[in-house]
Amino acid sequence: MKFIDISKIFIITVIPLLIFLLAADFIAFDKSFYQRKFSEYKVNENVEGAQYLHEKVMDFIQGKSNELPNEFNEREKQHLLDVKGIIKISSIALYVFIAIFIILLVASAFILKVNNYIINFVGKVLVFGGVLTIALATILFFLISSNFSAAFESFHQLFFEKNTYLFDPANEMIVNLYQEQLFMDLGIRTSKWVVFASASAIILGLFLLLKPKKQKE
């Protein structure tokens, strides 16, 4: 198999990872989203100082702070520390995928040399990468919509140690601050943004594929 074919496969595979990570990073730290949802689910009414606590949590998991408010107990703090670790890994993964994408794209362009070939190559990877991403986003949306609780539990089992993510709403702050429905909304919103970004990539790819043909005509 030629380098160009291998490069094409890798780039198409990387595109969904890039789009998902970028969308998740943007949405997970969108202040306006939490303000709306806290108001919608009456979190501000049920949890004293909800916005203050949320800001402290965001600063902590983003690495801007190393301390959490004492309103959280040790189990909650440990869970948030685990979340911080996952966020750090996902950020590193995002930079790695961006580097892979750029390196393969530049290397492929250098090998192809002819502008039309390069444009055709970029167009194809954007179209196929976008289609693959939409397919994955559709599966994610279906899982979230059909049985979110099961999907949410599977996610926690995959990334966290057993019994470290189960909390008592009567005695622990974290589940009152971040209700399960909020995470469902996060997942659905992420899926929508992923589809929008993927559709944009497909449209751009089709434009690049059709451009040389128009020029020949």
Would you write out the chain's pLDDT as a tens digit for each of its 217 residues? 588 888 899 999 999 999 999 999 888 888 899 999 999 999 988 888 899 999 999 999 998 988 999 899 999 999 999 999 999 999 999 999 999 999 999 998 888 887 788 888 999 999 999 999 999 999 888 888 888 888 888 888 888 888 788 888 888 889 999 988 999 899 889 989 999 999 999 999 999 888 755 555 4
Measured distance CA(156)–CA(67) in Å, rounded: 23
Q: Give the DSSP letter of residue 114.
A: S
- Domains of the chain, by residue range, sit at 3-46+94-205
Q: With contact defined as beta carbons under 8 Å apart, do 68 and 79 qualify? A: no
Q: Which two tokens stand for residue 20?
A: 């998902």
Measured distance CA(125)–CA(9) in Å, rounded: 8
Q: With contact defined as beta carbons under 8 Å apart, do 73 and 7 qualify? A: no
Give the list of residues 6+ apart from residue 90 with CB closer than 8 angstroms, or none: 21, 24, 25
The closest alpha carbon to 126, from 197, 192, 55, belongs to 197
CB atoms within 10 A of CB 20: 23
Q: Residue with structure tokens 């589809």?
A: 195
Measured distance CA(213)–CA(217) in Å, rounded: 6
Cβ-defined contacts of 92-95 (< 8 Å, 24+): 93/17, 93/21, 94/18, 94/21, 94/22, 94/25
Q: Give the DSSP letter of residue 97.
A: H
